[in-house]
Amino acid sequence: MTVQITTGNTATFKVVTLAGQTLELQDVSEQKFYKDAQKKYITENKFDVASDLRSLDRLVFMETLMHRWQMHLASGRDYEGFLAPSQEEQVRKNIKETAPLISTLQNDLGLTKSQREKDQFESVGAYIIKLQQAAKAHGIRREKQLTTALDLINQLFSLVGSYRRSTPNERGKLDIEDAEQVLDWIENYMRPEYDKVDEYFRTHEQKMWVGTL
């Protein structure tokens, strides 16, 4: 939003911060610079935290001050007239002291090229680590499945062997009077025991990566 207020012979140019506060600037070029910088930052970047928006307000304000001081140095005058040597020295000091603050805010907000590249590199590295962790978990699950499968198969072999070697009377004592009971054992015990390994993996480990890899 752009507001120009004229009081007597003095005109001020207002801008609104992201926090909703109104600032009065001294020149239309400052007003344009502020608005353009603010729009560029919020268009090209995403800020989800309120503290980041406050930091962005400080950054845009400081950059606007830098714009003001640089214009003053370039023209040799401020809004009141030509700069005296002491005033030029103060402007140079202002620029020197403010430049590191701007750089710090840009780095903190991840707005510099080097910071963006660093964040991207760290994101890729974190993704690779997550892939490695998921692959390891899958490998562990396969080992558990294999161990469980071998144990169940050995139980099945023992059950079938006992059934074949036993007399009808002995089968009654073993609670396997006919082959149908062997099939029931496979369906009601062997299969569920094997599936437990995969079910545990899905509910306890796999859910950490679902939708992220």
The pLDDT assigned to 3 comes to 40
Same domain? 196 vs 130: yes
Domain boundary among 89, 111, 133: 111
Domain boundary among 90, 111, 132: 111
Q: Is residue 159 domain-resident? A: yes
Number of domains within the chain: 2
Query: What is the CA 154 to chain-centroid distance, rounded?
Result: 48
| Phi, psi angles (nearest 5°) of residue 15 | -135, 160
Q: Is residue 63 domain-resident? A: yes
The pLDDT assigned to 120 comes to 56
Same domain? 68 vs 44: yes
Domain boundary among 111, 142, 177: 111
Same domain? 94 vs 140: no
Report pLDDT digits (tens) over 138-159. Answer: 667 677 777 887 888 888 888 8
Same domain? 106 vs 37: yes
Secondary structure class of 112 (helix, strand, coil): coil
154 or 99, which is more confident? 99
Q: How confident is the model at residue 56 (pLDDT cuts 50, 70, 90)?
A: very high
Q: Is residue 78 domain-resident? A: yes
117 or 174, which is more confident? 174
Same domain? 9 vs 94: yes
Q: Is residue 213 domain-resident? A: no
Q: Strand order of the sheet with strand 10-16?
A: 3-7, 10-16, 22-25
Q: Once rounded to an integer, what is the mean pLDDT over residues 152-169?
A: 81
Same domain? 106 vs 7: yes
Same domain? 75 vs 123: no
Q: Is the pLDDT of residue 59 over 50?
A: yes
Q: Is the pLDDT of residue 80 over 60?
A: yes
The pLDDT assigned to 29 comes to 94
Same domain? 30 vs 64: yes
Q: Is residue 24 domain-resident? A: yes
Domain span holding position 132: 118-208
162 or 29, which is more confident? 29
DSSP state of 83: P
Report pLDDT digits (tens) over 194-210. Answer: 788 777 666 655 545 55
Buried b (16+ CB within 10 A) or exposed e, 182-193: beebeeeebeee
* Nearest Cα residue to 111 out of 178, 65, 147, 59: 59
Number of neighbours of residue 197 by Cβ within 10 angstroms: 17
Same domain? 106 vs 124: no
Same domain? 92 vs 139: no
Same domain? 20 vs 105: yes
The pLDDT assigned to 2 comes to 40
- Cβ(63)–Cβ(37) under 8 Å? yes
Choice among 32-36, 119-123, 139-143 with the minimum mean pLDDT: 119-123
Q: Is residue 130 domain-resident? A: yes
Same domain? 86 vs 33: yes
